[in-house]
Every structure is written in structure tokens, then in C-alpha cells.
Copies of this chain bind each other. A is one copy, B any other.
Amino acid sequence: MAELIPGPSFFIGKGDDTDLISFGSGQPDLPPPPEAFDALKQYNGFKYGQIQGEESLRAKLAEEYPGAKPEHFVITNGASEAIDLVLRSISKSGGKILLPRPYYYSYPFVVGYAGMTAEYYDLGEGGKINYEQFADIAPGCRAVLINSPSNPTGTVQDIETLKKVEALCDRLGLYIISDEVYKDLIYDRENYLLHGKHVVTVNSFSKTYAMCGFRVGYLYSPDEDLVSKVVEMKNHTSMNTSVAAQVMALAALSVPASYVEKHVKIWKERRDMIYAGMLELGLELWKPEGAFYVLPKLKNSGRVVSDLYYKYRMISYDGAWFGAPDHVRFSYALDASKIQEGLRRLKKFLETDYRAY
């Protein structure tokens, strides 16, 4: 039997071979708007930028958030750095951070790196928050993390539930870290922006504008004390986010809405294709309402991922990495023809190797 694969980083840089089909890394295959590259061609600055992020970019972002001001934003090296900086800034010895489960695989690590402890609320049927359970655990925590649409489930949380979460955290004085990096990739309704004095919205240009490699994300919060702590920390830990990436981000924000709409239409077609295809293979899974992941149940998920890679030339991610053992995550951010070929290989795997597990 092939060796178990230790984690997502094993696959980074793989997936460009012609015969390998990658349902692995969650990144768009469709390119960024050409305007983003064009802006780079004319750029000739080279000095340090503001630690908080370029004023022009923050001003443009503020237009997207009702009531927001440029000083409520910090531009970061992707959403990852935003979450890391927020956790480090609010860190208290013995502090607990409430995470959803399944979770994006980095959450437990960054909570630990910040010297705090992760607690979990389990997502129920369809990946929805069980509010009763959530409300039971939240009071002992320093912050709660909400991730809607979710990586790895694709679930979009109900607005009614999100409003209850807002009210509870406001009453308890808890920070809400709302990871909304997939906010523009929702199929059936608009995103609901969580509000509140201590809400930190984390977002990114990676998914909406296909700019993963450039690493530009941001946080938005009306909590000015928290924002200033984050900026002070970033001054020592990484300084300004790359000015080249910020130039691209500003250009991306200026493209017509049709750029994103076209992409969402494509994601939705792929979602329908992979969801129907997996149902047809007899797999049990939730129908994603946003982002670009499905998370079917598959026993011995570590072995599945290993076999799919070594025997079927397919990259998939073990649900165990996301707190969902016996599930496998498939990103459908790839061409329809590859999705179809992947489903064919998966069918063969299910009919042969998997039966023998």
C-alpha cells in the first residue's frame, strides 16, 4: 500500500502535468482580469508603502462596505496573514477561540501559534451552524470564527443564524472573525456581511479575482483599537504588503461586475456537474451553495487520497486535515472536461480499489 500523504503542502506545486487531475488546492484556474496585469506594467514605485496598506486601495474598499472608512482596513499578505495577525493581536494566555468543524485546515494551527486554544462547534446537516450548540460554547471564548461560504463544505450560513450569532457576540463582547474570502462566490443569494463593534471581516483578492499567487488580502473592522494593534504588529512582522500586489488589487477592484458574474456562472455549472456526478456514483454529500468545494463521505479517507494520487493520478484532500475524517475534499476549480475525466477515474476507483477496503 502506498504511503499516507501528510498534508496539503505535499501537493503544492504539483498538478500542472497533463495527465494529473488536481481537485486539490482551492484556487481558480480562470485568470485574473487583464487590467490587473496592465497596471503592473506601468508601475515604477519601489519604496516602502504604508504598513496599513495603500490609501487608494483602502479608500476603494471602503466604498464596498456600508459605513466603512479607509482607516478600518489593513491590507495583508492574503487572508492568512490577516487571520494570523488578528489572533496574535487579541491573544491572551488561556484564551479560547471557537472554530467551526469541519474547518479550513490552517485555523487550528494559527490559533496554536498565537498561544491560544481551539474549541469547536460542529456544523450540522448541510454544514449549517447548530445555533444552540454554538451559543452553549461561545460564552467561554475570546473570539468566534465564522466561515461562510465555507471551505471545505461550500455551505452558506442562513442569514437568520448569522444575525443570532451577531447578537450573541455583541452581548458577550466577543470578537467575531468572519472569514468571507468566498463572499463573491455564492450561487443563490447575496452575501450577508456580519456587523458589530468587534467584528473583523477577513477577505481576499485570491478567489474573487484569481490572484492567489500575488497574496493580497485584507481585514476590515470598525474596532479601531484592534486595527491599530494589528498595524503596529505588522510593522514589525512583515511591514507593508507588496506594493506590486496592491497595484494589481486596486486595478482588479475597478473592473466591471461582469468579470465576477461570469466566473460565478462557470463555478455554478461546475458545481452542478460535480454534485450530480457524485450523486450518480452513489456518494453522500452536501450540495455546496458557494465557494468551490464538495466534501463527500468516503471511509478511510487518508487511504483514498493516497490511492487516488498514486494509482489514479488525481489530487484530492483528506477530510481529516479539515476535522472531517472519512470525508474527502474535492475542489472543482478546474475545467469541466477535467472534472468529467476525474469523475470517470473516481468511478473506476470506487468499483475496484475502494470495494476492497
Which residues of A are interface residues toward B (Cβ below 8 A)? 8-9, 12-13, 25, 27, 31-32, 37, 40-41, 43-51, 55, 77-78, 80-81, 84, 88, 105-106, 109-110, 113, 115, 210-216, 231-233, 235-245, 248
Contact = CB atoms under 8 A, between A and B. Distances in A.
Given A46-B212, A213-B242, A80 B9 contact: no
Given A49-B213, A244-B245, 6 more contacts: A8-B235, A40-B43, A77-B241, A88-B113, A105-B236, A106-B236
Contacts of A31: 44, 46
Contact of A44 (B27, B37, B49, B241): B37
A43 B55 CA distance: 26
Contact of A239 (B32, B45, B50, B215): B215
A46 to B, nearest CB: 5
Contacts of A242: 77, 213-216, 242, 244-245
A335 to B, nearest CB: 14
Given A46-B31, A49-B213, A51-B12, A40 B244 contact: yes
B50 A12 contact: yes
Contacts of A106: 235-237
Given A77-B242, A215-B238, A240-B215, A12 B84 contact: no
A27 to B, nearest CB: 6
B244 A48 contact: no
A237 B9 CA distance: 13
Given A113-B233, A244-B245, A78 B46 contact: no
B9 A84 contact: no
A81 B237 contact: yes
A231 B45 CA distance: 30
A60 B28 CA distance: 29
